[in-house]
């Protein structure tokens, strides 16, 4: 089991936001992609962050977007679509979406619309 599974989303979230903001993107855009991926609304996302929910519990309560399977590419030297563990793949999906945001992709492309 990976240590990230028991890490709180709230402890990683500021890094997602900082990465996006360094590239001229916003916290609201980070929240939008997290909500798109998980099916949570802003209120539920905020509650998970405030409660210190672990990645395991965060994704256990999520309704993964049906288009999440379209998320492909490399994150940390690993092809997202080849990650075998379902929870790790979901975490990598989130990492990939934040990377795409920071690289300047349009929200339409990030959200696979």
**What pLDDT shows up at residue 76?**
85
**Mean per-residue pLDDT for 29-54?**
98
Check whether 65 has a pLDDT greater than 70: yes
- Tens of pLDDT along 84-111? 999 999 999 999 999 999 999 999 999 9
Q: Considering the entire predicted model, what is its pTM? A: 0.94
Give the number of residues written for the chain.
113
Check whether 9 has a pLDDT greater than 80: yes
**Mean per-residue pLDDT for 42-64?**
98
Identify the sign of the CA torsion 25, 31, 32, 36.
positive
What are the structural domains of the chain? 3-106 (1.10.8.290)
**Mean per-residue pLDDT for 28-34?**
98
Radius of gyration of the chain (CA): 13
Residue linked to tokens 């929910």: 53
**What pLDDT shows up at residue 2?**
86
H helix runs in 39-106, sequence order: 42-51, 55-60, 86-102
Q: How confident is the model at residue 1 (pLDDT cuts 50, 70, 90)?
A: low
**What pLDDT shows up at residue 39?**
98
DSSP string, 59-74: HHT----GGGGG--SE
**What pLDDT shows up at residue 89?**
96
Closest CA to 65 of 39, 30, 104, 28: 39
Kindly report the backbone phi and psi dihedral angles of residue 85, in degrees, each rounded to the nearest multiple of 5, phi listed first: -70, 125
């Amino acid at each position: 089991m990976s240590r990230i599974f028991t890490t709180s989303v709230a402890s990683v979230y500021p890094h997602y936001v900082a990465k996006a903001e360094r590239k001229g993107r916003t916290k609201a855009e980070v929240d939008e992609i997290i909500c798109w991926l998980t099916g949570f609304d802003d209120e539920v996302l905020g509650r998970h962050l405030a409660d210190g929910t672990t990645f395991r519990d965060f994704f256990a309560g999520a309704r993964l977007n049906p288009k999440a399977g379209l998320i492909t590419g490399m994150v940390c030297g690993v092809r997202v679509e080849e990650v075998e563990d379902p929870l790790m793949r979901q975490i990598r999906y989130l990492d990939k979406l934040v990377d795409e945001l920071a690289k300047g992709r349009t929200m339409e492309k990030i959200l696979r619309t």
